[in-house]
Amino acid sequence: MARILFITGPTASGKTAKAVAAARRLDGEIISADSRQIYRGMDLGTGKDLGEYGSVAYHLIDIAPAGYKYNLFEYLRDFDAARGDIERRGMFPIVCGGTGLYIESALKGLHLPEVPADPELRASLENKSLDELTDMLASMKTLHNTTDVDTVKRAVRAIEIETYYRSHPDAALEAKPSPLTDAVTVGIDIPRDDRRRRITARLKARLDAGMADEVRSLLDSGIAPDDLIYYGLEYKYLTLYVTGRMSRDEMFVALETAIHQFAKRQMTWFRGMERRGFPIHWLRWDMPDDEFVGEVEKLISDD
């Protein structure tokens, strides 16, 4: 019998509601696998929908200040701690989110040792361009995703980590994965047209609910515009709109397009996970909650 459940799928597929329904039936608690719901004050733009949880406990939401750049090492550390805490109290852990990197890394049982800063190395790289840093990192390892090289700071950190592993082989061994054998992964299967319709409707609703005001509040709190733009999607385009670099109509069209593209990339990642040996059991997005949870219970029992 499986001891942990993962519920994933593209944005706007209704993952949270399904995870909450499963948690209520299974005496579960939810561990978020959303790379932006980690940040406090970033609520409408990340779709936290905290009202959906009711009495169901959740973890790894609102654990870092907006403007911070949370990373995979921190997520895996915090994921392990949250799972251990949930299980010690006799509850069932349910991981819910659409950040494929977090989901797959957790399923791999990946453990990344903490790598200290290397001031000398950082000084030697400080005048290099992002393209130069990307080429350097590509010569050290295969680049599986672009998050390591989306900014100069992250690229330098990635090179710092790879350099550390090369000079500390024992630490590199610690980073080898130990795939979870007690997990079941369920995907929320939503047709493309339904997904696109829900994305557009949700975007309009969040704008009406004050998403632009949320971004203004974050900027007024002292967070630099570029730090919000870094988070992408809603925070990128709303920041450009609020700071006068885009009209409202331009923002809406660009953001709507970006979210559709993001959902497509999510599905590409999930299909890749299946090819890489992580099976996903796809269940219809519009399945009634009782039926959905019944199917989940069968999957858990059959594992």
Q: Reply yes or no on whether the pLDDT at 173 is more than 80.
A: no
Pick from 27-31, 161-165, 212-216: least confident:
161-165
Cα–Cα distance for residue pair 244/147, rounded to 1 Å: 27
Average pLDDT over residues 94-112: 93
Contacts of 93 (CB under 8 A, 6+ apart): 3, 4, 5, 28, 29, 31, 82, 83, 86, 87
The token duo for 247 is 């009209």
b/e map 213-236, b = 16+ CB within 10 Å: ebbeebbeeebebebbbbbebbbb
Residue 146 confidence class, pLDDT cut points 50, 70, 90? low
Strands 64-65 and 92-96: unpaired
Neighbour tally for 261: CB within 10 Å: 11
Is residue 185 within 8 Å of residue 6, measured between CB atoms?
A: yes
- The pLDDT of residue 172 is 65
This prediction has a pTM of 0.85
Is residue 57 within 8 Å of residue 30, measured between CB atoms?
A: yes
Residue 37 confidence class, pLDDT cut points 50, 70, 90? very high
Residue 228 confidence class, pLDDT cut points 50, 70, 90? very high
What CATH number should be reported for the domain whose range is 4-111+177-302? Answer: 3.40.50.300
Query: Nearest 5°: CA angle at 73, between 233 and 157?
Result: 80
- The pLDDT of residue 140 is 86
Give pLDDT tens digits for 276-300. 999 999 999 999 999 999 999 999 9
**Average pLDDT of the chain?**
93
Strands 183-189 and 64-65: unpaired
The token duo for 168 is 């500390």
Strands 281-284 and 183-189: parallel
Average pLDDT over residues 87-113: 94
Domains of the chain by residue range: 4-111+177-302, 119-174
**What SS3 class is residue 92?**
strand
Q: Reply yes or no on whether the pLDDT at 106 is more than 90.
A: yes
